[in-house]
């Protein structure tokens, strides 16, 4: 009996060492130069998907309709091209890399940003979104995503929620959150807050101005899309119309129905600007944790 406290103490000590060892490994992974490089691959993949969405949105603006004008639609568009499978596998790897990088930021705080709880939660959400996008990309390239897309899935999910009053409230709250996030993007773009993440000093004067303007225009346009998505979702919850909760696809098609369709052209060009800025971000963003 006298040995029990000693054994318990040793077991506790071993447990603490195991936890500390796991923490050290996680910290080493988060600070790895390989993770920083993977982050750049992920940023480039994100830039690519926005360029593709911008192309689809411009085609809609000029009268060529598409079944889906969102990330899923862009992936399906790529799948139809001769180079499709190769690019899709690269994008899947990039999205997964982006998700892993954002997950480490959720744990240790943003590189170039802060370690506040709100920021970490945002990073965690982004990690989950791009993990899902990586899975979707693999499904598209392997032919397992032949039926339905993200827009139709959003509508089906919203319809199931809206069968009850509580569900409609949940959909409305989600719409409000998305709209607020969009407003935050607009403010971030207008104030050029994204520059704090970039190594601006490594750019020439002309490049710095170009990247800053692309980032500003693109971030604002991206924010506008999110605001429209949020407002459409709110309206859908209020009027009990699940068909209006199609996400980015529904937002793009709503903008296309504005008088003259000029607003969609501006937003599409903004998404294109964000995509081009994204490639600059992949080159100059601070991703090395040791440099934060």
Residue 291: pLDDT band with limits 50, 70, 90: very low
Task: Give 255 or 47, the one with higher predicted confidence.
Answer: 47
pLDDT at 28: 56
Task: Give Cβ neighbours of residue 60 (< 8 Å, ≥ 6 apart).
Answer: 66, 69, 252, 253, 256, 264, 268
Residue 198: what are its φ and ψ, rounded to 5°? -105, 155
Does 51 have pLDDT greater than 80?
A: yes
- CB–CB of 49/98 below 8 Å? no
Question: What number is the average pLDDT over the span 33-55?
Answer: 92
| 183-193 pLDDT, tens digit each | 999 999 999 99
| 105-136 pLDDT, tens digit each | 898 888 877 788 888 999 999 999 999 999 99
Question: What number is the average pLDDT over the span 48-54?
Answer: 95
Does 23 have pLDDT greater than 60?
A: no
Q: Looking at 31-83, list the stretches that DSSP marks H as alpha helix, in order from N- to C-terminal side.
A: 33-61, 71-79
Q: CA–CA separation, 151 vs 179, rounded Å?
A: 18
Q: What is the pTM of this model?
A: 0.82
pLDDT at 24: 44
Does 283 have pLDDT greater than 90?
A: yes
| 153-184 pLDDT, tens digit each | 666 666 676 777 777 788 888 889 999 999 99
| 244-259 pLDDT, tens digit each | 666 788 888 888 888 7
Domain boundaries, given as residue ranges, for the chain: 27-286
């Amino acid at each position: 009996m006298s040995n029990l406290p000693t054994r318990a103490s040793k077991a506790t000590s071993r447990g603490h060492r195991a936890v500390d060892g796991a923490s050290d490994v996680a910290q080493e992974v988060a600070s790895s130069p390989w993770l920083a490089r993977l982050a750049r691959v992920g940023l480039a993949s994100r830039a690519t998907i926005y360029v593709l969405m911008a192309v689809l949105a411009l085609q809609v603006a000029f009268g060529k309709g598409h079944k889906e004008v969102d990330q899923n639609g862009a992936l399906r568009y790529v799948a139809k091209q001769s180079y499709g499978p190769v690019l899709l596998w690269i994008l899947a790897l990039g999205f997964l890399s982006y998700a892993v990088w954002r997950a480490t930021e959720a744990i240790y705080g943003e590189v170039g940003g802060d370690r506040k709880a709100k920021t970490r939660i945002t990073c965690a959400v982004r990690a989950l979104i791009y993990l899902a996008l990586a899975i979707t990309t693999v499904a598209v390239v392997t032919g397992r995503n032949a039926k339905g897309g993200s827009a139709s899935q959003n509508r089906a999910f919203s319809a199931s929620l809206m069968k009850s009053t509580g569900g409609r409230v949940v959909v409305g709250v989600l719409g409000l959150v998305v709209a607020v996030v969009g407003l935050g993007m607009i403010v971030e773009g207008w104030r050029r807050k994204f520059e704090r993440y970039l190594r601006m000093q490594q750019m020439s004067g002309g490049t710095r101005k170009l990247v800053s303007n692309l980032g500003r225009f693109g971030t604002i346009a991206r924010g506008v899309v999110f605001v429209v998505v949020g407002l459409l979702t709110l309206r859908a919850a209020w009027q009990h119309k699940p068909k209006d909760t199609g996400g980015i696809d529904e937002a793009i098609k709503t903008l296309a129905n504005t008088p003259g369709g000029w607003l969609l052209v501006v937003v599409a060009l903004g998404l294109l600007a964000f995509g081009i800025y994204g490639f600059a971000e992949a080159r100059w963003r601070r991703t090395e944790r040791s440099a934060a």
